[in-house]
Chains A and B, each alone.
Chain A
């Protein structure tokens, strides 16, 4: 049996596919780009990564149209079969719009969304830290991270604020769906820079096989991306945000 293969989905408007594939491969994953016109090949992959960008121009609401793309049919089917699925930024928005995260309703009937930042509803690019607030084994995707791991990343989005009605928010909080929250470099909780409910940076579904994270760990995952934080000696080595990718790849290998 060959090594499990990871598909990195490219919708029209996706823009972070290349660095996502590059980091997955550096972490040992057998990752491949799959474009929307080759949706027919998706079912054969063992895991799915939905990278950042502006799929279908973020029309209506970020991720709303992409959630109805033919490619997401296979993502939904894969989710039901327990395949591991990671969505980053726009990919995270698609997973919420597809109803896979928090996954408390039917597919394509979202119960929460990542929507316009608040109080300033504009795009924000800022370096952030996020902290794992679930027990690592709650999700296979985070299983290799230490408890309370602090992961560096870049927030780079205009619609990253978790929003839901009070009942669904309670469901998210009580169901242990908040996987990462925003913190400072020392791991102390801070208010989410985008006004996100529960200061949530990432959500996980009940089964733990789908993780949707708003900030980009792949943009602070190489030493050259943080030279003054110990990155100078081997600038081309992986570090920082690569830990989450490595944990994901390890989980795919186990699956």
Chain B
């Protein structure tokens, strides 16, 4: 029985009369992912069989996607508090304190999500709606959206006709089409290519917002909200995105991709652009009139999920009339109106005296009905004191359940096996032929220039960009007009390490994301994570997830930075049921007190000392060169005391005014970092190079490569001086000479074939 065919929305779905086997078959036929035990729990909580609408409401609300039922208890291990935290992971986005300007405290809103399964099925639309959704998460905190970022994990794209290449192109085009149109700069991101993503791409998205801390709008009905209006704003509800929440909680082979195309939402960045600007106007009006309201993005579970959560998190119930919802088609079934995931919609909880003005701003001043078919803002219900969730449709009550059962926590205690730590033998370092290897490393798909990809993104709209994407390890903005305050954003998460050791990869993701922010002269103030893992019902795959959470928690505690927002994406598997490489993707936000002191990575002058600050452990595990040579090697161990010292030394060098340039040592090792610093100088018309002498220039143990003007000004205990900059565009490595122009050509080429 398809819900689209079932017109009688109040029709009950028989649970109590059926035996387990029949019930399971009926549930599958109805297209819901709820298990038999969950269906029986729902019937017990309602005291009767659920209606069709209730069935689909619980299916969305209790999906892994909404409820985090198999992951939430592990996420409590993450540190979420600290002096920079304004709002931890409780609402649609987290908020960290950036600084003060002109008597105001400013917060940076950050959200991080995945859109993996939709992007695998329909790459352009899946990725575009990923950007669309993350932008709403930030907007609904009352913030101006100031940047997006896109950590991407693609399969092997070398073959011209491969599906993986088709996906890799479609995703980038979708992100570009959406982000460029709404006018939010793409500030950061990374991309890795790995066979483990051939069947299941990872599309993570991050968005930043700017908000005055006393003007934050929360995603719950405020105190005293009983009787207030529930106002739905945006695109007309249509059948797209029906079942999206449960779709993303299935593995892709279970979810036949043709059958699931309808579960993917349709992006409308044009409407979003207008919605954002209209919402900014509403924020200003509410501030001026000192009105407190609730505002929330519609995501998984559609109108039902959003209205139920905004009401219940304020301690209320809600009653909505689905006939008041602006729809794109007549005769949409109640279940589709209630839980369909049509894009570009938001929901306000407003005191009745504010409603008319809000409707006027959206509908008349910003003319929503003229922007997209039947788009508008409309009152669809009200907040109730009684803690029930009630939906009416065509004169019938089609849903009436205790709201806390609907939105309350569901938990699956699934068994897992502890992930085995990687302990290879053979600590012997191979002799490395630098002359042969450097060109291969620079042309490696994980090292080669990303410019062919990100030049399709608008990185400078809004006019606030200080360091656009690709210019440094982190992107930097000056988000507040007239202020010297800057915000830095970087992402990290290396699947080569993830495929070897989930915990080590998670730790390294935290380390590298924070280093990238430190390298541009910022102080890390907050982290987000997106945990992209396999099937939690497979004990080894859940074990990898748990190990990664522990790795994130350990690294964040050691570095004293909190996680303020995050997301979990499970069921990322190949067709054969192998999990994708463990991918704890981390984003780090940094604060810069004076944008004039931002550090850039291009070499600045000849004759400067080059210092490698930080860990230099000679371990090649997980490195590009280990992959090129086909060797198994130990992973670098992390010394957190050394890591903290290194960050402090980089900061001291900057404050002493002797830090000329800086890059982190990551993919491709210290020699790659050096080559890129020469490329960065070349891009600005400075023909510079360097001479270095170092035995293992491809090790990816971390740390910073710094050009300083005066090493004497620093305490260099434990710091290695590996070389000196040259007045000619050449790299001389242990006596072997490379021309910077030739290396640049090698590094620039590979991805331009995929992204011409």
Residue numbers of A with Cβ under 8 A of B are 10, 12-13, 15-16, 18-19, 22-23, 35-37, 52-54, 56-57, 120, 122-126, 154, 156, 185, 216, 218-219, 221-225, 227-229, 231-236
Contact = CB atoms under 8 A, between A and B. Distances in A.
Interface string B683-708: 01100000000000000000000000
Nearest to B598: A227
B273 A125 contact: no
A124 B598 contact: no
Contacts of A54: 180-181, 269-270, 273
A185 to B, nearest CB: 6
Nearest to B456: A123
Nearest 3 pairs between A and B by C-beta?
A15-B183, A19-B463, A57-B270
A13 B181 contact: yes
B176 interface: yes
13 contacts: A12-B370, A37-B366, A52-B461, A57-B181, A123-B180, A123-B457, A125-B454, A125-B457, A125-B459, A126-B455, A219-B461, A232-B596, A235-B595
A222 B463 contact: yes
Nearest to B454: A125
Most buried by B among A15, A23, A234: A15
B756 interface: yes
Contact of A37 (B367, B456, B463): B367
A19 B462 contact: yes
Interface in B465-492: 465-467, 478, 481-482, 484
Main secondary structure of the interface of A (DSSP, over half): mixed
Nearest to B602: A228
A22 B481 contact: yes
Contacts of B456: 122-125
B365 A37 contact: yes
B181 to A, nearest CB: 5
B458 interface: yes
Contact of B458 (A12, A13, A125): A125
Contacts of B685: 185
B466 A225 contact: yes
Interface string B102-126: 0000000000000000000000000
B662 interface: no
B455 A124 contact: yes
B274 A12 contact: yes
Contacts of A228: 600, 602, 684
Contacts of A232: 596-597
Contacts of B596: 223-224, 227, 231-235
Contacts of B598: 227
B663 to A, nearest CB: 15
Interface in B518-559: none
B379 interface: no
B32 interface: no
Nearest to B367: A37
A12 B463 contact: no
Given A227-B596, A235-B596, A221 B463 contact: yes
Given A12-B367, A35-B365, A218 B181 contact: no
A165 B650 CA distance: 58
Contacts of A35: 365-366
B124 to A, nearest CB: 13
B478 A156 contact: no
Interface string B160-183: 000000000000010010001111
A233 B183 CA distance: 29
A224 B367 contact: no
A236 B602 contact: no
A89 B173 CA distance: 20
Given A227-B598, A235-B484, A15 B465 contact: no
Contacts of A15: 181-183, 273, 461
Nearest to B481: A22
Contacts of A234: 596
A154 B269 CA distance: 22
B140 to A, nearest CB: 20
